[in-house]
Amino acid sequence: MPNYWLLSPNFICNMLKLLQLFSRFMGRYTSAVVILAAIIAAIWPDTFAWISRFGLANIILGIIMLTMGCTLSTQDFKILLHRPLDILLGTLAQFSVMPLVAYALAHLFQLSPELSVGIILVGCCPGGVSSNIMSFLCKGDVAFSVGMTTVSTLLAPVVTPLLVYLLAGAEINVDTWGMFQNILVVTLLPVAIGCLFNYLFGRRQNFKDIQSCMPGISVICLAFIVGNAVRAAIPNLQLAGNAFALLGLTLCVVFCHNTLGYLLGYLLGSLFHFNRAKRRTISIEVGMQNAGLATNLAPQFFDPLAVIPCAISCAYHSISGTILANLFSAYDRYREQKQTALS
């Protein structure tokens, strides 16, 4: 006898609430989930072997970008027309500060060509989707954040391969055309499809319910990407013979890269007389990159060892972004308490 109860409104409603709760949980603990995936991949590499075996890495990243596109509305694109100068300055900062800082750090720490191209690739990627969430949490300018992320993602198929070639092409072979095609297919196309879905179905309650579950899907997909990248990099890390030293050095570079991105982004906002909300947003947007994209690109176009800075950045950017947003919020609470005490 068919289980018609599975199609009952009550069952579907309860399952939806459960999925929404799960999605909120995953969104809140993104960093922990990504780190857990990396640990599992390091201890039990075969856990994520199915991703490479069936060639699913690009599809998984495409799903992440599709969820991003489904959250973009026509109103978000109107922001680009109403605030072109702000978003232009922010995007220029994003595609100049992080690539140049990555290049400088690679030479300062005398990284190998494989590790150098990994951190440079992270610096040349567009802004991460989670940066929009961080801007919201710290009372930043969310519309500004969404505008910067959208523009940098649209420019990424051309700008990212070109910057990697200019900064790392002298030390390592860079397949710019292959990277252009890959980024176009796994980022721009899914984002465009997601935008179309949102335009056609955005007012329907069923679609809004699906949207509420998308953060959880994105986090799971990101964990799969990191786990697969770590699994692919471990054999090369073991062959290097000094795995702990390389990991320590790479973590130090990632920390400096990310922190300098936050600081320089905030200073640029101050230089252009942005208000506090916009300074916070440009700081987060410049410092947080789409390291998931870098983690996906690295094993396809470079030595598997290049994955290490990308995978570490993928987890660390989420952690540091959350910490920075909380620090901004704590500062606001301190100011409010101080003003209350004075009055």
Give me the residue spans of the domains in the chain.
34-329
The SS3 of residue 127 is: strand
Question: Which stretches of the chain score pLDDT less than 50?
Answer: 1, 5
**What integer pLDDT is reported at residue 50 of this predicted model?**
92
**What integer pLDDT is reported at residue 207 of this predicted model?**
82
**What integer pLDDT is reported at residue 239 of this predicted model?**
63
| CATH architecture classification, 34-329 | Up-down Bundle (1.20)
**What integer pLDDT is reported at residue 238 of this predicted model?**
66
Of 93, 43, 113, 139, nearest to 261 (Cα)? 93
The SS3 of residue 289 is: strand
Give the contacts of 112 (CB within 8 A, at least 6 positions apart): 305
**What integer pLDDT is reported at residue 109 of this predicted model?**
93
Given a contact cutoff of 8 angstroms between Cβ atoms, the answer to whether 276 and 144 are in contact is: no
**Threshold 0.85, pTM exceeds:** no
The two three-digit tokens of residue 3, written as one number: 């289980």
- Rounded distance between C-alpha atoms, residue 332 and residue 171, angstroms: 46
**What integer pLDDT is reported at residue 1 of this predicted model?**
46
- Rounded distance between C-alpha atoms, residue 219 and residue 298, angstroms: 20
- Rounded distance between C-alpha atoms, residue 192 and residue 154, angstroms: 10
**What integer pLDDT is reported at residue 76 of this predicted model?**
67
The burial class, CB within 10 Å (0-12 / 13-18 / 19+), for 329 is: middle
**What integer pLDDT is reported at residue 106 of this predicted model?**
94
**What integer pLDDT is reported at residue 2 of this predicted model?**
54
- Percentages of the chain per state (helix, strand, coil), in multiples of 5: 85, 0, 15
